[in-house]
A and B are shown apart, each in its own frame.
Chain A
Amino acid sequence: MAKNTLSSRFRKVDIDEFDENKFVDDHDEAADQQGPDAVEIDRDMMAALHIALRNPPINSKNPAIKERAQAAVLRVLTSFKSSDIEPAVKSLDKNGVDLLMKYIYKGFERPTENSSAILLQWHEKAFAVGGLGSIVRVMTARKTV
């Protein structure tokens, strides 16, 4: 047997890191994107939604910031009454609807007992306004929320 079958350290090397043709995204500095301020959220629901959707941590590479933002938005979304969802979505502009879709899909990734049903209701209303285009933009965006 050949000598080099003894060591299998080569299996732990990530060959893609050394690929010279590897595509690297443009770096946009994260600056102050800290995600929405969790404290202000408890009051008026409509305002809460707008606050939650402000300052999305899109350029940030810090997973903690993204988690916090996602948790804050999810809290707002689940505390809405079903009948209030439609006017809330109507009050958002185009970019807001796209951003809301991104958070909704992020929420789908980690379902809890109640979240999926509420998120599906939000999804239906957001889809009525944003259409298939907003979903396509969630799928194709390089910078996720």
Chain B
Amino acid sequence: MSYHSFLLEPISCHAWNKDRTQIALCPNNHEVHIYKKDGNNWSKIHVLKEHNGQVTGIDWAPESNRIVTCGTDRNAYVWTLKGDVWKPTLVILRINRAARCVKWSPKENKFAVGSGSRLISVCYFEQDNDWWVCKHIKKPIRSTILCLDWHPNNILLAAGSCDFKCRIFSAYIKEVEEKPAPTAWGSKMPFGEVMFESTGTSGWVHGVCFSDSGNRVAWASHDSTVAVAEGGKTAVCASLTSETLPLLCVTFITENSLVAAGHDCYPVLFVYDSNKAAMSFGGKLDVPKQSAQKGMTARERFQNLDKKATTDSKEAVLESVHKNSISQISILNGGKAQCAKFCTTGMDGGMAIWDVKTLESAMKDLKIV
């Protein structure tokens, strides 16, 4: 488990390259900084300046080594490395509000951008015109799209929105791919078709994630709940309300376990049992710091009672690794099936890398199924 503080400002979004030696992140401004790991330190090797507004989403395609960024200036750029310089290509998204999130598809021939214009732009490269073209998914989205995740079949796209729903859409583009085989979510998949729409949870959907097989989708919403839906003849939904502050990002680390993190500043494990179609809380995944227990003098006790109306001696200092909300979580090693390491970045400008094996041995009751 390691923690590195990059900045004092929040990290808006981040993305790793294929061999996890470089990280691209947005330091809460219009630029994207790429840092390279050398030894224990991180050195800034590139600065990508093209956006006119804050960069809200970055994704780095591992195989083709292209970076796509999107920002509040309603644009997206695809960056390719030419020699030692990253060259941008503008993508016209045809949106009139800010772009919020962007994700490459698994085959890297398309990417999807969620925006405040209540639509998803699915962009693909048109060879004839040498130009990125986009198609819109509009119905039945009624508010900003906050998060996206692709199904491994390169066709289905899960989107979490501010209209309190998590939906799975088909983003099938006939110009770049074949007709898809039937999946657990349905067999007819024309572009823009809604394969699944969530019910039951309220609150903006902050984070969404498909499992490795694509048969399950998990989402975290602002009413402090996490839910998992399993595709099938009738989609089975299981949700868990939690006693903590809302979670902002969620990811599967095995087919049955999820890690989520949010405003409580530490990652949390959830386990999904498909036989009972129920979710349970697995444990808090933070390394506990041994805080020295000081005795309180009688004077301090009365002062506390007077000032804070409580006799608790707890200090108002966060004991977690991150000192502010965690906004994004990404898998480093092992994929979503057998994740070995994952990384979190947050509003405190720091990035923490968590090792699943060490966490499992450190927390006694933790079981990652």
- Contacting B243 at CB < 8 Å: which of A23, A130, A141, A143? A130
Closest B residue by C-beta to A24: B142
Are the C-beta atoms of A133 and B202 separated by less than 8 Å?
no
Are the C-beta atoms of B202 and A136 separated by less than 8 Å?
no
Q: Does A90 contact B (CB under 8 A)?
A: no
How many angstroms between the C-alpha atoms of A131 and B245 in the bound complex?
9
Are the C-beta atoms of A137 and B224 separated by less than 8 Å?
yes
Q: Does B223 contact A (CB under 8 A)?
A: yes
- Contacting A140 at CB < 8 Å: which of B118, B203, B243, B244? B203
Q: Does B17 contact A (CB under 8 A)?
A: no
Q: Does B27 contact A (CB under 8 A)?
A: no
Q: Does A132 contact B (CB under 8 A)?
A: yes
How many angstroms between the C-alpha atoms of A132 and B243 in the bound complex?
5
A 112-145 to B, binary, CB cutoff 8 A, 1 in contact else 0? 0000000000000000001111101100111100
Are the C-beta atoms of A133 and B245 separated by less than 8 Å?
yes
A 29-70 to B, binary, CB cutoff 8 A, 1 in contact else 0? 000000000000000000000000000000000000000000
Residues of B within 8 A of A94 (CB): 241
Are the C-beta atoms of A132 and B224 separated by less than 8 Å?
yes
> Interface SS of chain A: helix, strand, loop or mixed?
helix
How many angstroms between the C-alpha atoms of A132 and B142 in the bound complex?
28
Closest B residue by C-beta to A23: B142
Closest A residue by C-beta to B162: A23
Q: Does B242 contact A (CB under 8 A)?
A: yes
Q: Does B143 contact A (CB under 8 A)?
A: yes
Q: Does B164 contact A (CB under 8 A)?
A: yes
How many angstroms between the C-alpha atoms of A55 and B187 in the bound complex?
40
Interface residues in B221-235 (C-beta closer than 8 Å to A): 222-225
B232: min CB distance to chain A, Å: 24
How many angstroms between the C-alpha atoms of A136 and B143 in the bound complex?
21
How many angstroms between the C-alpha atoms of A130 and B246 in the bound complex?
14
A93: min CB distance to chain B, Å: 11
Closest B residue by C-beta to A142: B202
How many angstroms between the C-alpha atoms of A142 and B142 in the bound complex?
15
Residues of A within 8 A of B118 (CB): 21
Residues of A within 8 A of B142 (CB): 23
Q: Does B163 contact A (CB under 8 A)?
A: yes
Closest B residue by C-beta to A25: B164
A13: min CB distance to chain B, Å: 24
Known: A140-B222, A140-B223, A141-B202. A133 touches B143 (CB 8 A): no
Are the C-beta atoms of B163 and A133 separated by less than 8 Å?
no
Having A98-B241, A136-B222, one finds 13 other A-B pairs with CB under 8 Å, namely A23-B143, A131-B243, A131-B244, A132-B245, A133-B242, A133-B245, A136-B224, A136-B246, A137-B203, A137-B223, A140-B202, A140-B222, A142-B202
- Return the 7 tightest CB-CB contacts between A and B, nearest first: A131-B243, A133-B224, A140-B223, A140-B203, A133-B243, A136-B224, A137-B223
List B residues at the A interface (Cβ < 8 Å).
Answer: 118, 142-143, 163-164, 202-203, 222-225, 241-246
List A residues at the B interface (Cβ < 8 Å).
Answer: 21, 23, 94, 98, 130-134, 136-137, 140-143
Instruction: Give 20 A-B contacts (CB < 8 Å), ordered by A residue.
Output: A21-B118, A23-B163, A94-B241, A131-B243, A131-B244, A132-B243, A132-B245, A133-B242, A134-B241, A134-B243, A136-B203, A136-B222, A136-B223, A136-B224, A137-B223, A137-B224, A137-B225, A140-B203, A142-B164, A143-B202
